[in-house]
Copies of this chain bind each other. A is one copy, B any other.
Amino acid sequence: MEQPRPRSRGSTAPASSSTHKPEVVIGIDPSLRGTGFGVIHIEHPHPRALVFDTIKCPAKWPKSRCLVKTADTLKRVIHEYKPTVCVIEAIFYAQNKQTALLMGEARGVCLLAAAEAGLDIYEFSPRKVKRAVVGYGAAQKQAVAKMVRELLCLDKVPAADAADALALAIAFAGQLKTSMPDISNQTRI
């Protein structure tokens, strides 16, 4: 699990000096064998990454074991970093119904971990996240990961699943400043 030491950036104010109430957000990109997660602290002018990683489950593990590891890891992260908001990827594309079912199983477990801990849960489409982070709804995954590195001042580009999760949290942080009613009315689940 990565607990990043951000590159120095003179303009980043420390959390304690922020005039806004600090807020911790977890982004989750669910998948049976590689759920990405990323926790950020909303600071001004830029959010700060607290932790991010991919929950890897080997192909030989039975599905039930993957679901338990995913739930356990998310519960531990939520307990430790105490986010109050969870942003999860809305899934609109699946190859077929069987794939959608599998994706749903992983997603259900992630939603449960967040809901049991009392987090407010929001759902963002990948297009919305890309537009918020890169400025272009059809951006490539690598472009998202690079922009996540830039926005969070990370030493290196995060792995794809973790980057997607961090991007969800960043997109929430961005919307929080501009259009909170839009979020709360349309995408809370």
Q: Write the residues of chain A forming the contact surface with B, with a CB cutoff of 8 angstroms.
A: 62-65, 67-68, 71, 91, 94, 96-98, 100-109, 111-112, 114-116, 121, 188-189
User: Which of B96, B97, B98, B111 makes the CB contact (< 8 A) with A64?
Assistant: B111
Across the interface, do B62 and A116 meet the contact criterion of CB distance under 8 Å?
no
In Å, the complex CA distance between A188 and B61 comes to 12
Report how many copies the assembly holds: 2
In Å, the complex CA distance between A149 and B111 comes to 36
CB-CB under 8 A for A105 and B100, given A63-B189, A64-B189, A68-B116:
no
User: Which of B97, B106, B108 makes the CB contact (< 8 A) with A96?
Assistant: B97
CB-CB under 8 A for A112 and B109, given A94-B100, A97-B94, A102-B104:
yes
Q: Would you give 13 A-B contacts (Cβ < 8 Å), ordered by A?
A: A62-B188, A64-B111, A64-B114, A64-B115, A65-B115, A68-B116, A97-B97, A101-B103, A101-B104, A102-B104, A106-B108, A107-B108, A108-B109
Residues of B within 8 A of A115 (CB): 64-65, 67-68
Residues of B within 8 A of A109 (CB): 108-109, 112
Residues of B within 8 A of A112 (CB): 64, 67-68, 71, 108-109, 112
